Amino acid sequence: MKVPFLDVGAAYKELQSEVDAAIQGVLRSGWFILGQQVEAFEADFASYCGARYAVGVGNGLEALHLSLRAAGIGPGDEVIVPSNTYIATVLAASYVGAEVVFAEPDPQTHNIDPKAVEAAITPRTAAIVAVDLYGLAADARNLRRIADRHGLFLLEDAAQAHGAERDGYRAGAIGHAAGFSFYPSKNLGALGDAGAVTTDDAALAEKVRTLRNYGSKVRYHNEVKGYNSRLDELQAAVLRVKLRYLDAWNARRARVAGRYLEGLAEVDGLVLPVEPEGATHVWHLFVVRHPHRAQLRDALAERGIATQIHYPIPPHRSEAYADLGVTTGALPIAERLAEEVLSLPIGPHLEDAHVDAVIDAVRTVAAAI
């Protein structure tokens, strides 16, 4: 049996009539950029996240970048980022000219460790970027305390955590602002690139709106040097449809994760993900660890089980950040995770037979390694 890692097209098939109607509505309107659909989605998504404002932008990286820019972060500032994350998190800090400072993750959750964050703070620190990795929201309570105590801007990278909760906060309302991606494979995915910023800060939301549109509130009146990073009407219309199903789809993901956690318990050498007390994981990814990952992955592939590695190269080990001079071994937790993590198939449309096949294959393969 072949098991796909994620069937992105299945979401469209389930909602085809509603998605088609939404797209046709936009086409008939003749308005394709920053119109009624974007405004409606911004209101819907802000309400869903428990934030006062949402601002649609071109993609998840721009959501982070424009948030930092709107917060006044720039050259001379230090921005603390996780050592275990996708490089977009780090690029956002670089785009505003800030100096990147890496902080290690908690080995159990893989999310940034608040203790490591506090240890990394210097007089130049201006912001913390906390990633809600794999669908598990970051340690909201402790990160907010640290940010408040030191007067720092707390930016949440919620690109993988649509609908996740932690310590009474929903993803998108944990920090002073949050950046979301709606890349097609996300829990809430568009039909292309798309993103949004959520915040309770009216002034910051207005700055992001201005920055996303060439630095202009009124056409041809450019107040600042802005960017072209606008959520289009077609994507907004599709996201409005999918948002209505997000909680149900997250529940399906949780059911798959629950079966994995039960079926793969006590498999020799396999480290399973955790859901800390006070957290609601939305399982964007189901990430295990194994000391012989390459053997495990190859053997699963031979059995038709598709897997992925998130992420094989920590940002500080990439060529893009070689100039930082971070030596091998300086961030050992991130480096060990990069060598051991493996993402198993998961999604709201993964069939029960596929889940059973993955469990059986992992158990069989792990026992033979």
Can you give the CATH number for the domain in which 255 is found? 3.90.1150.10
> When comparing pLDDT for 218 and 343, which is higher?
343
Interval 17-59: pLDDT, tens = 999 999 999 999 999 999 999 999 999 999 999 999 999 999 9
Average pLDDT of the chain, as a whole number: 97
Average pLDDT over every residue of 78-92: 98
Distance CA 254, CA 314 (A): 27
Share above pLDDT 90 across residues of the chain, in percent, rounded to a whole number: 98
pLDDT over 90 at 1, yes or no: no
Q: Is residue 3 part of a domain?
A: no
Looking at the structure, do residues 53 and 27 belong to the same domain, yes or no? Answer: yes
Residues in CB range of 108: below 8 A, 6 or more apart:
274, 276
Interval 229-240: pLDDT, tens = 999 999 999 999
pLDDT over 90 at 347, yes or no: yes
Q: What is the pLDDT of residue 235?
A: 98
Distance CA 41, CA 236 (A): 6
Looking at the structure, do residues 209 and 292 belong to the same domain, yes or no? Answer: no
Interval 118-174: pLDDT, tens = 999 999 999 999 999 999 999 999 999 999 999 999 999 999 999 999 999 999 999
Share above pLDDT 70 across residues of the chain, in percent, rounded to a whole number: 100
Domain that includes residue 308, residue range: 246-368
Looking at the structure, do residues 191 and 305 belong to the same domain, yes or no? Answer: no
Residues in CB range of 67: below 8 A, 6 or more apart:
92, 155, 177, 178, 179, 197, 199, 204, 208
Please tell me the pTM assigned to this model: 0.97
Distance CA 115, CA 143 (A): 9
Q: Is residue 58 part of a domain?
A: yes
Average pLDDT over every residue of 290-295: 98
Looking at the structure, do residues 220 and 133 belong to the same domain, yes or no? Answer: yes
Q: Is residue 4 part of a domain?
A: no
Looking at the structure, do residues 66 and 181 belong to the same domain, yes or no? Answer: yes
